[in-house]
Amino acid sequence: MEPWLLAVFPTLSDQNHSMTPKLKTVCVVGLGYIGLPTASLLGTKGYQVVGVDVSPSVVDTINQGKIHIVEPDLDILVKSAVNSGNLKASLLPTEADIFIIAVPTPFKDDHVPDLSYVENATRAISPYVRPGNLVILESTSPVGTTEEIVAVLLRESGHDIENDVFVAHCPERVLPGRILIELVQNDRIVGGINAQSTEKAAAFYREFVSGEVLKTHAKTAELCKLTENSFRDVNIAFANELSFICDKEQIDVWELIPLG
């Protein structure tokens, strides 16, 4: 086992998981590259976690303590969380203190984001949401998704999102190959649909994130993620253009970059 893994997840060396903090229950919807690492991380931190996925094979694989995706050391984390009894996978949501939606938001053919996964996930958890619960959208989403889709659907289902149910957006900010490290060590941006939701979500992330938890509004948090992605894309495109020019002019691009 890598030394950094024990440093970030000390409970991996404690089979009794005696460091369990507050026995909070979490329901994570979507067990892909963000949902499964998040669910297993929380399981090793002492939360009781139910991970939800629409694929029976994914659910069966995880309940065997195995993984269906490739990410360094994720297999160790999932096995530990499942064996401890803190993580189980299911086809259906369950009641929980905190709900995390981590489903895909792919583009349709006309470059319009497909938010049907977010809508379906929200509808799926709505019957299990109770007063005092926190609902967090982690999926990368267009500005307004948290307020205009998640919050609206919960309100239409009879939930009091102004006072009793807290809704927030916290975008993932991790790179493949470093997800387990960055889930803990990176700063996180948390934005609620109101001040109470922001505070509730920020308090939750502070329990397991060592980076800074930055508070804002849901729309600002959504745009921060989109801005970050756009900035990265522009830089990659610029680097590609430099490479083409250097190849044409027989210039060493690796000499050029530090001189620029």
- What confidence score (pLDDT) does residue 109 get? 83
User: Does the structure show a pLDDT above 60 at 18?
Assistant: no
Over the stretch 74-125, which tens digit does the pLDDT of each residue have?
999 999 999 999 999 999 999 999 999 999 999 988 888 999 999 999 999 9
Please state, as a whole number, how many other Cβ atoms lie within 10 Å of the Cβ of residue 234: 10
Task: Fill in the DSSP letter of residue 48.
Answer: E
pTM of the model: 0.86
What is the Cα–Cα distance from 71 to 165, expressed in whole angstroms? 34
CB 167 within 8 A of CB 196: no
- The C-alpha atoms of residue 41 and residue 160 are separated, in whole angstroms, by 30
Which of 173, 165, 212, 172 has its CA nearest to residue 192? Answer: 165
Catalogue all structural domains in the chain, each as residue range(s) with its CATH number. Answer: 3-218 (3.40.50.720)
For 124-183, the pLDDT digits (tens) are 999 999 999 999 999 999 999 999 999 999 999 999 999 999 999 999 888 889 999 999
pLDDT tier, 20 (very low <50, low <70, confident <90, very high otherwise): very low
